Structure 1
Amino acid sequence: MISKIKEHCGIVGIHNVPDAPRIVYETLKFLQHRGQESAGITFLDKDRLSTVKGLGLVEDALDPIILKSSNFSIGHVRYSTTGRGVIDEAQPLSDGKIALAFNGTIPNYINYNVRIDTEFIYEVLKNQEDIRQGIRKLVDVADGGYSLVVLTNKGELIGLRDPKGFRPLVLGKLGSGYIIASEDSAIRQLGGIVIRDVKPGEMIYIKNGSIESEIVARDEVHFCSFEYIYFSRADSIIDGVSVYRARVRLGEILAENHPAKADIVVPVPESSVPIALGFSRKSGIPLEYGLVRTSVSKRSFIMPSQDKRESIVEEKFGVVGEVVRNKKIILIDDSIVRGTTMKKLVKLIRENGASEIHVRIGSPMIRYPCYMGIDFPNKKELIANDKNEMEIAKSIGADSVEYLSIDEMIKAIGRQDLCHACFSGMYPLKHSYDFSKLSVSMKG
């Protein structure tokens, strides 16, 4: 059976910086929000690449004490939809000569004799004498959304962003060397200098302290809207657009076009807080923290299986009873995917005495699977697939539910080149994919 893999992860590569593996370790903690299932680090040890990896959060999966001194290293935190949580699928993937860390999905890997798309990338790269030629070949044959970093035993560091620019990737300066990472916020938190975003279709090649740039392929850009809505850190800036500012605007437009009479606005921490702030400012309804997120909680959306998601929801939220009691509440969240979290939250808030709960969502209705790296594997799991807003409200126990439209979302984020396939069903890919049937059909 073909493994159903989607990788929405965090990646980092460091070139010519003393103690690079330990810096990668710290960077992975700054990117922990992008993946909680496993973590791994590869570093150059003399003329061979060594890899350490484990399951769970970075501090549980990796022991920094065993990391050797090296000036060259890459790392990865993983989120997938396999539900397997096995160490052999953790990254980086390496044979001692080439190591790669990958963020995204390449659906047409199922046409090749490999288990997962990361193996597909590795097979393409290892069969080319020159790593740059391998990257060119990969871009030519791969269909999907991805960014990746590659390290070789020659000390070469490569960063690549797919031609449609689905996933973010950033180049920075760190001391005497360079860093490539999923988000600029991690580079700044390390004390590094952000140089620029890697361009869609661009390969960054670094060797001996020298950088070469090549646009390997050009295509129409379709950046993942969910990076702004949920995945990226609020203090990140992607392609010149502030994630925080985009989320505030989502809330402002939500208040303008989807109001409700209420006493307070309550955000679902953490990614929806700027959305709730924008809603509160525009509507004039005060913002209150009626929900408290525990400090040890994980992001339930990126847990690999439904039973784990449900158990995490029970653990991660507390309700401030005196805030919600006898109040009409506008409950703000960034999205509703399966409805698991929202249904439980509405129930918890009602049990603490809220008189009305009006749910407002800072994204459009998620109706379709994603084939570019988000965990929307099939339509049956999506609560909006076969329900309208009134039916969703009834299903989750809310008094009302309203979402942004696709046009409202685009206006709020301020980019016309967004991918909205999970909302519209319009996939900017060469092929269409149905993982539930494990089939691929040509779109032309």
Structure 2
Amino acid sequence: MMKIKEHCGIFATIGENSVKYTYDGLKLLQHRGQESAGISYVEDGIKTIKGLGLVEEALNEKEVLQIKSKFSIGHVRYSTTGKTTLQEAQPLSNEKLSIAFNGTIANYFEFGNYSTDTEFILDFLSKDIKEGKDIVYAVKHFMDIADGAYSMVILDDKKRVLAVRDPKGFRPLVMGKIGESIVFSSEDSAIKQLGGKVLKDVLPGEIILVNPDGKILSDKVPSTSFHTCAFEYIYFSRADSKIDGVSVYMSRIRLGEILAKNHPAKADIVVPVPESSRPIAIGYSRESKIPLEEALIRTIVSKRSFIMPTNDKRKSVLEEKFGIVEDAVKGKRIVLIDDSIVRGNTMKRIIMLLRNSGAKEIHVRVGSPMIKYPCYMGIDFPSRSELIASNKDENEIAKILGADSIEYLTVDEMKQAIGRDSLCTACFTGIYPLKRNYSLQVMESVFNR
């Protein structure tokens, strides 16, 4: 059975210090994928180096920095399809093309026996090019038949780099400049931290081609409606990023403010689950006038449990993930703030730790709606059976987790907080903004990890 996970980070550089900037960019996008990392570059043809683990584990920095190519693309992986193997780590390349891809092609299984959707993309584009088609034509042809979410960067043997964002704009992609070098990144925060300037968001449906001489061409396929993933704002993206001009940090602050206003709890302290929940907790504390305490301490070695490839690995990560400041929680009524609850593994253990440390009451407030449906646009919950909220109400969930109460935002409250209506809410509503309707049973059988 095929397996799924996801969220990835991509980076590309055209110009001086290309491979160095791409390498450093990937490190700044590490939160988007921790399974593998890789870089493709042009030097007497396309060369690709990649490895398993974090960027600094997967790639030898000393060797990387000796590469003098001016054309490179890179990838950190958290796989949507396939397995955690070096063979399936990205970028995926052949002698003509290399692909670094963030998203999920929901219908890729209909086109052949591919182990990953990235393999399908590479094969599809390569066939068109082999038949003499121009690379932009090949990309447009792919966009015509592909259904799903994709932001990707493409490198060819002619030293051209393309940046592509799907017509719905599910996944973010940004263009910038560092010195005289053109860069593309999954998030603008990485560009800014490298001392660069953000030029623009790649628009939904846009294809940007950078030629070897630096000349930039832009094309676009029709795009009727945008559906950027709400989880980019809630959880995945760095708080210092902006997506399509909307601040992730301020969105999370407003999520907390609306959560406090519409879902109050009588409590002594507000406690965030680190890291992405902190701005939500700040917003909740400000609005409710309940003081915030950093009573959960995340261990330095901990990784994001949600993006671990298997449930066993997620649970092993939880064992060493949090410490409790007992003096802050003993005898206290706590509002425990989390950005989202998918499977419930993390929350159940945190509540147990807080109880053992003397917490009097624990009221969980969640800065997103209940996740009831699988995602086939690039996030790791492909099966309803994995989702704690798929067939339970708030009272049932509170009982399972060991909380005194739990309340979530509604979809409308979430949209109000983020400040845009053009969001993908499929995992909350079961309404998938894809080209076609798919049977959930079929999709679960194809994508279940």
- Contact between 2:3 and 2:82, CA under 8 Å: does it hold in 1? no
1:138 matched to 2:142? The reply is yes
Shift of 1:298: 0.6
- Report the equivalent of 1:54: 51
1:201 matched to 2:205? The reply is yes
1:287 matched to 2:284? The reply is no
- Report the equivalent of 1:80: 79
Shift of 1:5: 3.5
What is the alpha-carbon distance in structure 2 between the residues aligned to residue 69 and residue 142 of structure 1?
35
- Contact between 1:81 and 1:305, CA under 8 Å: does it hold in 2? no
State the secondary structure of the residue aligned to 2:125: helix
- Contact between 2:5 and 2:381, CA under 8 Å: does it hold in 1? no
- Which of 343, 348, 353 is the matching residue for 1:343? 348
- Contact between 2:81 and 2:116, CA under 8 Å: does it hold in 1? no
1:150 counterpart letter in structure 2: I
Shift of 1:174: 1.5
- Which of 62, 68, 83 is the matching residue for 1:65? 62
- What residue ranges of structure 1 are gaps of 5+ in the alignment? 440-444
- 1:86-101 aligned at under 5 Å gives the runs 86-101=85-100
Shift of 1:115: 1.8
State the secondary structure of the residue aligned to 1:53: strand
What is the alpha-carbon distance in structure 2 between the residues aligned to residue 176 and residue 107 of structure 1?
37
Shift of 1:223: 0.7
Q: 1:329-384 CA deviation, whole Å, 9 max, x = no partner?
A: 00000000000000000001111110100000000000000010011111010000
Shift of 1:92: 0.1
- Contact between 1:265 and 1:288, CA under 8 Å: does it hold in 2? yes
Shift of 1:83: 7.8
Shift of 1:27: 0.6
2:117 counterpart letter in structure 1: D
State the secondary structure of the residue aligned to 1:315: coil
- Contact between 1:6 and 1:105, CA under 8 Å: does it hold in 2? no
- Report the equivalent of 1:442: none
1:437 matched to 2:441? The reply is no
- Contact between 1:4 and 1:435, CA under 8 Å: does it hold in 2? no
1:105 matched to 2:110? The reply is no
State the secondary structure of the residue aligned to 1:123: helix
1:35 matched to 2:33? The reply is yes
- Report the equivalent of 2:124: 124
- TM-score (ref. length: structure 2): 0.95
State the secondary structure of the residue aligned to 2:335: strand
What is the alpha-carbon distance in structure 2 between the residues aligned to residue 4 and residue 85 of structure 1?
10
- 1:43-442 aligned at under 5 Å gives the runs 43-46=41-44, 48-67=45-64, 68-81=67-80, 84-113=83-112, 114-129=114-129, 130-207=134-211, 208-431=213-436, 432-433=438-439, 434-438=442-446
Shift of 1:401: 0.3
What is the alpha-carbon distance in structure 2 between the residues aligned to residue 6 and residue 345 of structure 1?
24
State the secondary structure of the residue aligned to 1:70: coil
Shift of 1:389: 0.4
- Contact between 1:5 and 1:116, CA under 8 Å: does it hold in 2? no
Shift of 1:4: 2.9
- Contact between 1:83 and 1:305, CA under 8 Å: does it hold in 2? no
Q: 1:56-101 CA deviation, whole Å, 9 max, x = no partner?
A: 1111111022222111110000002558311111000011321010
What is the alpha-carbon distance in structure 2 between the residues aligned to residue 381 and residue 277 of structure 1?
30
State the secondary structure of the residue aligned to 2:10: strand
Q: 1:160-181 CA deviation, whole Å, 9 max, x = no partner?
A: 0000000000000121120011
State the secondary structure of the residue aligned to 2:287: helix
- TM-score (ref. length: structure 1): 0.96
What is the alpha-carbon distance in structure 1 between the residues aligned to residue 260 and residue 82 of structure 2?
37
1:35 counterpart letter in structure 2: G
State the secondary structure of the residue aligned to 1:96: coil
- Contact between 1:12 and 1:74, CA under 8 Å: does it hold in 2? yes
- Contact between 1:98 and 1:150, CA under 8 Å: does it hold in 2? yes
Identity of aligned residues (%): 60
Query: How many matched pairs?
Result: 436
- Contact between 1:291 and 1:320, CA under 8 Å: does it hold in 2? yes
What is the alpha-carbon distance in structure 1 between the residues aligned to residue 85 and residue 238 of structure 2?
27
1:85 counterpart letter in structure 2: T
Shift of 1:6: 4.4
Q: 1:27-47 CA deviation, whole Å, 9 max, x = no partner?
A: 10100000011100111113x
- Contact between 2:143 and 2:166, CA under 8 Å: does it hold in 1? yes
